[in-house]
Structure 1
Amino acid sequence: MKIVITGAGGQLGHDLIRALSPAHELLPLSREQLDVTDELAVKQQITACCPDVIIHAAAFTQVDLAETMLDKAYAINSTGTRNVALAAHHCAAKLVYISTDYVFDGTKTGSYTEMDRTNPLSVYGNSKLHGEKFVEMISQRYFIVRTSWLYGKHGSNFVTKVLSMADRQSRLTMVYDQTGSPTYTLDLARFVGELVETEKYGLYHVSNQGCCSRYEFAEAILQTANRTDISLEAVSASTFSLPALRPDNSAFDDLAIRQNGFSRMREWKLALQDCIQNDIQYVRSNEG
């Protein structure tokens, strides 16, 4: 298939290219190559490509900055998604929209399914939910893929930040009362590749199986990287004063994946081990 990828220069974009390039003709468009807020440019470029599939990964993802740059956040995440959805509809292309766990308020006990009520706490979460609504209204052949706690080889993420901090200091402070489902971007990209081969449209929660706190995630990162020399201190999220509120719990239940007969994502610790040892290639000896 011919597949357009928006946001191709980002963390997920790199792994979408890596996962899909052997089997498909890819037309990756970075932020510099396509401004999704420009409706005419989006229509012209995508129509010229005449793709079978559009994977819309472009987004304003700086959660705290979005609180003060809300015009930009909504322009990219909401209006930009509308523009891409219109172009997909015009080309009769399948559309994959990458959304977020931040559409939830985190008050649920247990993991969130696709049927749970949304109630975002932040500008970022609300702007991404607006994008979902545009996709639902405009596109007839869509996959909304909510994902969470993304990490991978490319870009800055929780895994790379923890490893970087471990190189600079011997004691790290991590939040114990925020829970979510870590997601390895390469695993997510491979799932998207499986998804677009089908006509099983709708909403999906896609993360590696299981959940953990930020503290437990950091602990697993350090153990996998053989950084047992680093000590961790558990603190409450209330210790940090951040502009944007985060959901205390955004763990995912992969109900739609199971119901539609897709391969389930592997368990989050297995994915983390693969990423650190084989992709980031960060395993250090403590000798010396």
Structure 2
Amino acid sequence: MKIMVTGAGGFVGSRLVAYYGKKYDVWGVTHKDLDLTDEAAVFKTVEKYRPDVLLHCAAVSDVAECSKKPELSHAVNVLGTEYLAKACGKTGAKLVMCSSDQVYFRKRGEQESLDAYLEPHWEDCIETPEPLYGKQKLQGEELCLKYQPESVVIRLSWMYDSLTEDELAKGRRNLATMLLEMLDQKQSRKFSDTDHRGVTDVTLVVKNMEAAWKLPGGIYNYGSSNDTNMYETVRRVMASFGQEALAEKATGGNVRNLMMRTDKLARHGIFFPDTAAGLEAFLRKGGVL
């Protein structure tokens, strides 16, 4: 079986290449190998390699960078995705597009109650994302399903893992590394009581990918669910280590809801622990206790 992974130098792509390279013929593609904004090059590459599955992880994924460079991010996130979808439609490759929970980031309506606004999102919600990145991801989703109807679109949450030396050198951090520091140093930190979202162990994202590419074409919320804000989430995790006081509340700011319902994924036999349980399990494996 042949698998092509775009964005192979990134957080998710690099881990997919390492994990599935032990089992399948995997080609990890970086921007140095393929310019996704070059339609002819994309077609030529996919037709030549003829992957059975194409895992599309490449993106201009930094929300701020996306807005600063709208032409570049559109070319990569929208047009590049369109070219890959067309190529997969032509060759018959199963396309898995890594989308984002940012498609759910919208402002609360003027007449909308807080409870209604904070309902976790289903895949079939009609979305009107505020950030440009969310808008571009939504466009990419539509193009995947238009040109390769068997595409599997997975909406990913914020993710965490132990970081490689290269990632540390680049200043990368994630929620799990922050919590490890808090526990190791008994150092408190403030977390927002207005930000509601799931956070997922990337190792589980990777291990479940084989089941994901076998799913029927469509859109799937893919990751850990959550039912509360980041302050309450971290407080739950810290409480399991007897360090609840390390989580402090940062108040203020607009309410944001990126929480996802994962019932659809579960009906197909793919499960993720909820955010707090997943973080606790990860931290315990990391040798905290």
Q: Please, what TM-score do these two structures have when normalized by structure 2?
A: 0.83
SS for the counterpart of 1:120 is coil
Aligned residue for 1:83? 83
1:178-210 Cα distance to aligned partner (Å, 9 max, x none): 101111111112222112234x11110111133
Consecutive unaligned residues of structure 2, counting only runs of 5 or more, are 109-116
Aligned residue for 2:203? 186
Over the aligned positions, Cα root-mean-square deviation in angstroms equals 2.7
Aligned residue for 2:113? none
How far off its partner does 1:277 sit?
Answer: 4.0
Aligned residue for 1:38? 38
Q: Give 1:234's match in structure 2, choosing from 234, 237, 250.
A: 250
How far off its partner does 1:212 sit?
Answer: 3.4
Assess, with a 3 A threshold, how the Cα gap between structure 1 residues 49 and 276 changes in structure 2: closer, same or farther.
Answer: farther
SS for the counterpart of 1:257 is helix
Aligned residue for 1:252? 260
SS for the counterpart of 2:96 is strand
Which one-letter code corresponds to 1:115 in the other structure? D
Aligned residue for 1:174? 191
How far off its partner does 1:211 sit?
Answer: 3.6
SS for the counterpart of 1:237 is coil
SS for the counterpart of 2:63 is coil
Is 1:206 the counterpart of 2:222? The answer is yes
SS for the counterpart of 2:141 is helix
Aligned residue for 2:138? 129
SS for the counterpart of 1:258 is helix
Identity, % of aligned positions: 22
How far off its partner does 1:72 sit?
Answer: 1.6
Which one-letter code corresponds to 2:79 in the other structure? T
Assess if the C-alpha contact under 8 Å between 2:4 and 2:53 holds in 1: yes
Of the structure 1 ranges 41-50 and 115-124, higher mean CA displacement relative to structure 2 is found in 41-50
2-structure distance, mates of 1:236, 1:161? 24
SS for the counterpart of 2:208 is helix
Is 1:283 the counterpart of 2:288? The answer is yes
Assess if the C-alpha contact under 8 Å between 2:191 and 2:247 holds in 1: no
Which one-letter code corresponds to 1:140 in the other structure? P
Which one-letter code corresponds to 2:202 in the other structure? T
How far off its partner does 1:231 sit?
Answer: 5.3
How far off its partner does 1:80 sit?
Answer: 1.2
State the aligned residue count: 272
Assess if the C-alpha contact under 8 Å between 2:85 and 2:144 holds in 1: yes
Aligned residue for 2:53? 53
Which one-letter code corresponds to 1:191 in the other structure? N
Aligned residue for 1:267? 274
Assess if the C-alpha contact under 8 Å between 1:2 and 1:24 holds in 2: yes
Q: Give 2:162's match in structure 1, choosing from 153, 178, 185.
A: 153
Assess, with a 3 A threshold, how the Cα gap between structure 1 residues 121 and 95 changes in structure 2: closer, same or farther.
Answer: same
1:119-145 Cα distance to aligned partner (Å, 9 max, x none): 110111111111111112111320010
Assess, with a 3 A threshold, how the Cα gap between structure 1 residues 264 and 229 changes in structure 2: closer, same or farther.
Answer: closer
Which one-letter code corresponds to 2:232 in the other structure? E
SS for the counterpart of 2:28 is strand
Consecutive unaligned residues of structure 1, counting only runs of 5 or more, are 239-246
How far off its partner does 1:96 sit?
Answer: 0.3
SS for the counterpart of 1:197 is coil
2-structure distance, mates of 1:159, 1:192? 22
SS for the counterpart of 1:212 is coil
1-structure distance, mates of 2:189, 2:242? 15
Aligned residue for 2:232? 216
Is 1:141 the counterpart of 2:140? The answer is no
Assess if the C-alpha contact under 8 Å between 2:237 and 2:277 holds in 1: no
How far off its partner does 1:8 sit?
Answer: 1.2
1:237-279 Cα distance to aligned partner (Å, 9 max, x none): 35xxxxxxxx7111111132134x323222323322343343x
1:77-112 Cα distance to aligned partner (Å, 9 max, x none): 111111111221222100000111111226433111
Of the structure 1 ranges 165-174 and 3-12, higher mean CA displacement relative to structure 2 is found in 165-174
Of the structure 1 ranges 121-130 and 206-215, higher mean CA displacement relative to structure 2 is found in 206-215
2-structure distance, mates of 1:172, 1:165? 10
2-structure distance, mates of 1:13, 1:21? 12
Q: Please, what TM-score do these two structures have when normalized by structure 1?
A: 0.83
Which one-letter code corresponds to 1:283 in the other structure? V
SS for the counterpart of 1:118 is coil
